[in-house]
């Protein structure tokens, strides 16, 4: 997997996969880096789909020797409850990965709900401009697509600010370039992404009598 230098210092091991750290996810990375300061031996990592949360969790497990439970909403609550207790008994950190933390995550088991309430939350937010650019550059590079800086800036200003939108944008442009064998450009991106519903279609200027 291609490597990219991280804007912040952690995780900085060159053997890590490319988890890109900016202001939008720096607090989450910092929380996991300093797991020894957690008030309990369990934390909850939240974030949007495609935000790299599973990758960050795997990096955390490799660096801390801890364990992770991904997609926690799909795991039986009794299993999560026992895993939380076991982490305290063994003093081995546990990271629970979920879409959102309680109360947005509707936990029914009262004992689990109280334990999660005592656990620190590491939240990955929506990507900021810096991360949007880094993600676009990274994914263009992985697809061997020649995307110039002006195209990246144009995309950042127009596509939805989400990790999923970035991936769908790259998929659409990659497919269009392969099918048409055209050079990647702003006009090509404008047409392709508008047709895919990823950006608004440009409004057509109404024809007036003077234009006829």
How confident is the model over 7-59, as pLDDT tens digits?
A: 333 344 434 456 899 999 999 999 999 999 999 999 999 999 889 999 999 99
Beta-carbon neighbour count of residue 126 at 10 Å? 15
Does residue 89 carry a pLDDT above 90?
A: yes
Residue with tokens 């990375």: 29
User: What confidence score (pLDDT) does residue 210 get?
Assistant: 53
Residue 15, CA atoms < 13 Å, CB-side half-sphere:
4
Residue 45: name the closest of 69, 62, 63, 18 by CA.
Answer: 69
Give the residue extent of every domain in the chain. 26-123, 129-195
CATH number for region 129-195: 1.10.8
Q: Are 73 and 46 in contact (CB under 8 A)?
A: no
Which of 6-15, 29-38, 166-175, 202-211 comes out lowest in average pLDDT? 6-15
**CA separation for the pair 63, 120 (Å, rounded):** 18
Does residue 206 carry a pLDDT above 90?
A: no
As beta bridge partners, residue 129 has none
Residue with tokens 């370039």: 177
What pTM value is reported for the model?
0.81
The reply to whether 26-123 and 129-195 are identical in fold is no
In words, the CATH class of domain 26-123 is: alpha beta
């Amino acid at each position: 997997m291609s490597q990219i230098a991280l804007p912040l210092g952690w995780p900085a091991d060159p053997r890590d996969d490319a988890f890109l750290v900016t202001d939008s996810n720096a607090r989450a990375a910092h929380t996991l880096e300093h797991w020894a300061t957690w008030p309990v031996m369990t934390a909850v990592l939240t974030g949007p789909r495609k935000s790299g949360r599973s990758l960050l969790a795997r990096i955390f497990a490799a660096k801390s020797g801890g364990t992770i439970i991904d997609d926690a909403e799909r795991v039986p609550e009794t299993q999560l409850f026992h895993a939380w207790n076991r982490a305290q008994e063994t003093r081995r950190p546990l990271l629970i990965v979920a879409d959102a933390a309680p109360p947005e995550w509707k936990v029914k088991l009262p004992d689990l709900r109280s334990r999660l309430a005592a656990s620190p939350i590491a939240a990955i937010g929506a990507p900021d401009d810096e991360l949007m650019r880094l993600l676009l550059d990274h994914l263009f590079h992985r697809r061997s697509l020649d995307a110039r800086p002006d195209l990246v800036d144009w995309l950042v200003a127009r596509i939805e600010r989400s990790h999923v939108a970035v991936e769908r944008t790259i998929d659409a442009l990659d497919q269009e370039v392969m099918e048409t064998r055209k050079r990647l450009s702003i006009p090509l991106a404008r047409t392709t992404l508008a047709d895919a519903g990823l950006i608004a279609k440009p409004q057509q200027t109404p024809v007036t009598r003077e234009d006829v």
